[in-house]
Structures are given as structure tokens and as C-alpha cells.
Amino acid sequence: MQCAYFVKDSCRSCRLLATPYAVQLQQKQQQLAKVLAPLLPFELLSPVSGPTEQFRNKAKMVVLGTSEAPVLGILNHQGQVVDLTDCPLYPTEFVQAFAKIKDFIQLARLQPYDIQTKKGELKFILLSQSFTSGHWLLRFVMRSQNHVAAIRKHLPALLAAWTELKVCSVNLQPEHKAVLEGAEEIVLTPQTMLPLLLNDVPLYLQAQSFFQTNPQLAAKLYQTARDWTSSLAVTRVWDLFCGVGGFALHLATPHRQVTGIEISAAAIECASRSASEMGLQNLTFQALDAAMFAASQQASPELLVVNPPRRGLGAALCQTIMQLQPQWLLYSSCNPQSLAADIMLLKGYQLQRAQLFDFFPHTSHAEVLCLLQRIQSSR
């Protein structure tokens, strides 16, 4: 991938860009093998990769500059304001989308927030595209409601000029600290969700619901999870940290009772809509804390799917899992270190296989999928 920002040293997000991609992938595989070495024996499969540029389906841009000359990008490691609207990680459609957003900021006179003076209103632009339909979801992260009326006033003009924009909202984040978004979301359009199709599964995205930034690799990850578990004789499945339901919806069959748990009500609303559209009566989703749900249950799943944040499951949830004693555990992780630490806490479970999915080319990050089997009682 050729990147002018990297050459100029104005952006260092893709820290490994100078390393040939084949070498990047080899190094990630070697690092994963090293981290998981204490868990041998197990099968470490070849890494799964995809496009190395133009693969992102969403953008998080800091809004800088002024309302007359807005900048969408970053304040870099040298303290410089850098416009990233032609970053090669984004498909070409994002360039036109960013231009429309800048025009709207000028039209509505939205004042970018200045972290030094603590003045201004518009902090971030969060933009997502459905790779299925080409439609967009746009979120303005604001310090307060002061500019909401201006956004409402001028939004019809934006929607008329940008017919692919289907969902638009304002997120309120009043705190003066490094927090991307707040709890309150004001949806400004009649449509609240973007539909997309991943493999043969319909999924929905809306504000405050998480989905992977690399849809090509997400499709391979979910299909692999389906393939690994299709022959398992299980009828009760839990998917903790289920998000919009990617794993649960792919693993559901007419003979399995699947329960998805996610703290985000917005994500659960999306997942429930997908289940209804697929006609799955034995698949339910609940907006609950995953650890609290697991600890409160009397019955146990035969297959437990977990996809925790970077910090991992932690000792308390690992202890709960050992008490539940699912026969199989499917663990998807974005942090191999916390993954390995969790597996070593799960006494009585043997890692059967692991595979790396390179969701984040040119960085040290990767997604790892693991299948574990209970080999003895943990009581």
C-alpha cells in the first residue's frame, strides 16, 4: 500500500507499513505461536488475510480547524493537524462522503471543539457504510445540544445532495477527556438501521452498535466459527458479548437453542431484528451484562461463545465458565495476550485449534479464533 501520510511521517497509525505484507503476516503468526506455546499441543492453522487497503467500512475522524475550513483527521504525534480524508485504508467512496460532510459543517456553521481552549461543539465524525447496499450512517459527536437545531435545519439539504445517506444522528459527549462518544444518541432520520448481508446472514447496524471494521475478514471469521462447530452435537449455545449477533446468527440451526447476550441495547435491537427476519424462533437476544448473566444461570450451555473486549474475560468470568462446565468453548479475541492468560485460567480445558485473522493490516493487531474442549471436571 502506498501512503503519502506515512512517507511524510504525518501519520503513524499503520506502523508496519514499511514491512512487506507477507513478512507482517509471518511475524504475527510467529508472535501468536509464541504467546500460545504454553498451551501446546494444539493445531495452529495458517493465518487468514484479505485486502491490505481500502478495506475499512467505517471511519472515526477528529474534527479540527474551523467551521469555515474544517479538517477531518487527527492531531498527530508531532502536534500537527492532519487531514486524512484520502487515507488509502478507506474505499474511494469515502473521499466523496468526507467532502459532503465538510460542506455540511460549513453550511450549518458547526464549530469544531478545541481541546486546549475547551471551546467549540463538534468533536468527532463517525461514519459507517453498508458494503451490501452502499448506504451510509453518519454520527456527529457533539459537546452539547447547542448545534442540534442547526443540524436539524440543514439536514434535509444534506440528505437531498447525498441520497445514499440513510441514517444520521447526534451523539452527546460533554466530558473533556479522551472518550469517543457519550450515552445519549439523538437520531435525526426516520431510518435507524443499515442492513447488510454477511455470508447468508442478514445483519443490521445502528448508532452505538459495534461491528468489525473489516467486513471481508468478518465474513471469513464467522464462516470459520460455523464450520468448526457444525459437527458438534450441541443443542444449547450461549454467545456472550454478542454485539449485533454475528456469531449467534451464524451458529444457529433449527436444532439449537441459542442465546445472545450483549450490554448494548442498540446492538441487541439489531440482532433481534436479524433473528426475526431469518425466522429463527429458537434464537433469543438480551441486553444484559455478560458476566452477570453467566453467573446467574442454573442451566449450562454445551457450547459457549465469547468475544470479549481487549482486556479479555478476566479471572471472575473464567471461574464462572469453569463452574458452568460447557463442553466446548469458542473464543474470539482481539488481544492474543489476554486470550492466552484467560485460557491458562480455564483449568480443565484443552485448546484444540487456533487461527489468526488479519483484520488490521500494517499494525500489530489481529483477531484470533480458538476452539477449546473440556477434558475433565473443573469442580
Residue numbers annotated as active site: 334
Nearest to 209 by CA among 176, 178, 246, 251: 246
**Phi–psi pair at 353, nearest 5 degrees:** -155, 155
Burial class (CB in 10 A: 0-12, 13-18, 19+), 233: exposed
Q: Would you give the end-to-end CA distance of the chain in angstroms?
A: 52
**CA gap 14, 31 in Å, rounded:** 18
**CA gap 307, 368 in Å, rounded:** 10
CA 141 to chain CA mean position, Å: 18
- The answer to whether the beta carbons of residues 328 and 371 sit under 8 Å apart is yes
**CA gap 214, 358 in Å, rounded:** 9
**CA gap 260, 267 in Å, rounded:** 11
Burial class (CB in 10 A: 0-12, 13-18, 19+), 221: buried
**CA gap 16, 100 in Å, rounded:** 31
CA 300 to chain CA mean position, Å: 27
Cis peptide before 51 (omega within 30 of 0): no
CA 317 to chain CA mean position, Å: 22
Enter the C-alpha cell of residue 170: 447526534
